[in-house]
Chains A and B, each alone.
Chain A
Amino acid sequence: MDGTWTDWLAAALLITGAFFSLVAGVGLVVLPDLLSRMHASAKPQVLGLLLMLTGLALEWGSWPWVPVLVAAWIMQLITAPVASHLISRTGYRTKHARRDLLHRDDLAAQARRVPREPLPATMPDVEGHGPLGDQEER
């Protein structure tokens, strides 16, 4: 067997990172609705990419490249929750999320209070928004 122990460690990290992509793919296929598919898709974005970049850094064995890889991971760590938050919020507001699969729904009471139809003329419209201000935006 050739290869140093850092080679083997890097290979193990790379394969484990790639395994999270497999997990995300399987989750995208088998999970039933938008929110659970998002749960599966976040795994390779953060942990999988971290493992792959660690394996890459071990394989390169060069310190000057480490800040670049750290920057790539930090960028992913910052931006992935932003996208997930907006997608899940839009999915909830536009009824793409299956609410019968949720165990707990903290937005339900608010969603029930917000009228879907335009407000009747008798109801005062505060500052051009609905009764809850910007919360009626969907």
Chain B
Amino acid sequence: MTTPLLVAAWAGGALLLIGAVASVYRITKGPSLLDRVVATDVLLVVLSSALVLDMAVRDHTDTVILVLLAAAVGFLGSVTVARFVEDRRPDHPQEENALVPGTSDVPTREEA
């Protein structure tokens, strides 16, 4: 193994590990289901990147199909979950959130 690939393996591996640990932290901590979905997407991409790094460092093509499939169908889970997330705080109406002073929320004259 040549020197640059050794450097890439250790440095890139460390960066990917930190990214994976951070996304696992967000998956466990939440607070909402959608945060977990976003963090799971990140974890999948970190996994794909780790496979790419492994293929580059050890010079093989065994897992390229996994990278391709993760890129192609990885979004289906997120879409499915996002489609069926419900609002469980009905006592917290959207209209109360809607008016934030100093933003474009404040109704204009013709709307009011």
Contact = CB atoms under 8 A, between A and B. Distances in A.
* B and A form one assembly: yes
Contact of A3 (B3, B41, B104): B3
Contacts, number: 228
Given A24-B42, A103-B103, A59 B82 contact: no
Contacts of B5: 3, 7, 10-11, 59
Q: Is the interface of B mostly helix, strand, loop or mixed?
A: helix
Interface centre among A18, A56, A82, A100 (most CB of B within 10 A): A18
26 contacts: A7-B4, A11-B5, A18-B15, A19-B15, A21-B16, A21-B20, A28-B25, A28-B26, A34-B34, A34-B35, A37-B26, A41-B39, A52-B49, A53-B52, A72-B71, A82-B75, A83-B41, A83-B82, A86-B83, A89-B82, A95-B87, A100-B97, A102-B100, A104-B104, A112-B94, A114-B94
Given A41-B41, A99-B97, A104-B103, A80 B52 contact: no
Interface in A69-122: 69, 71-73, 75-76, 79-80, 82-83, 86-87, 89-91, 93-96, 99-100, 102-106, 108-109, 111-112, 114, 116
Interface in A36-51: 37-38, 41, 44-45, 48-49
Contact of B97 (A24, A37, A65, A95): A95
B14 to A, nearest CB: 8
A48 B97 CA distance: 35
A3 B72 CA distance: 34
A132 interface: no
Contacts of B49: 17-18, 21, 44, 48-49, 52
B92 A95 contact: yes
Contacts of B73: 79
